[in-house]
Amino acid sequence: MKLRKIGNSLGTTFTRDALATAGFTENVELDIVATPGEIRLHPPAGAAIRIEFTAQEAESLFRGNIDADFLAAARIKLREMEVRMQHDVRRKDIQRLANSHQNVVQAQVNLGRQLQGNKYEFTPELKSRFETLVVQEQEARAALNTALKGWTEPVYVQPIW
């Protein structure tokens, strides 16, 4: 990863693991803006990870003052940020799985409408499509149910018309 410092970075460093956890990949140029009280990493898309530190926390981080209570507080904020990022990644995965399941169900509805037009006569092609959609729906539902274990937030999908 290439880090480009903007302004006074005060020697701030991030491990590759921390950057990978934040969703950054190799050979991506990142902008770092570090000022007392705030550190920002900007990926090319312009989104930012923002952690707000008090002046004392930022100073303890920058100086590496391991005896300071402020360093402990800053580390707690960094851990909380990591947990939030993991939560966001899980939410996006669940939303992707829910949308995938919804797309398969929509395809089943469309096939049902096509069967109505054929007066419910199964041609070999329609039978094959139907069987494939049944398997896809079961797989999508199983993956979604696995991902939803322990999840308490609502998941939104578009209604089928």
Q: Are residues 75 and 119 in the same domain?
A: no
Strand order in the sheet with 49-52: 2-6, 29-35, 38-42, 49-52
Distance CA 9, CA 62 (A): 9
- State the DSSP code for 6: E
Sign, CA dihedral 75-80-83-84, equals negative
- pLDDT, one tens digit per residue, over 67-104 is 667 777 777 877 787 788 888 888 888 888 888 888 88
The string of pLDDT tens digits covering residues 106-139 is 888 888 888 887 777 778 888 888 889 999 999 9
**The overall pTM is greater than 0.75:** no
* Domain membership flag for residue 158: no
Sequence-ordered list of residues with C-beta below 8 angstroms from that of 104, at least 6 positions apart, any chain: 133, 136, 137, 140
Reported confidence tier of residue 160, pLDDT bands at 50, 70, 90 = low
Tell me, yes or no, whether 24 lies in a domain.
Answer: yes
Q: 29 and 11 in one domain?
A: yes
Start-end of H helices in the chain: 16-21, 55-63, 69-117, 124-148
| Residue 59 three-state SS | helix
Q: Which domain holds residue 105?
A: 94-148
User: Which of 55, 70, 86 delimits the end of a domain?
Assistant: 86
Of the given ranges (32-46, 60-74, 97-111, 136-150), which has the lowest mean pLDDT? 32-46
pLDDT tier for residue 60 given thresholds of 50, 70 and 90:
confident
In the chain, the number of structural domains is 2
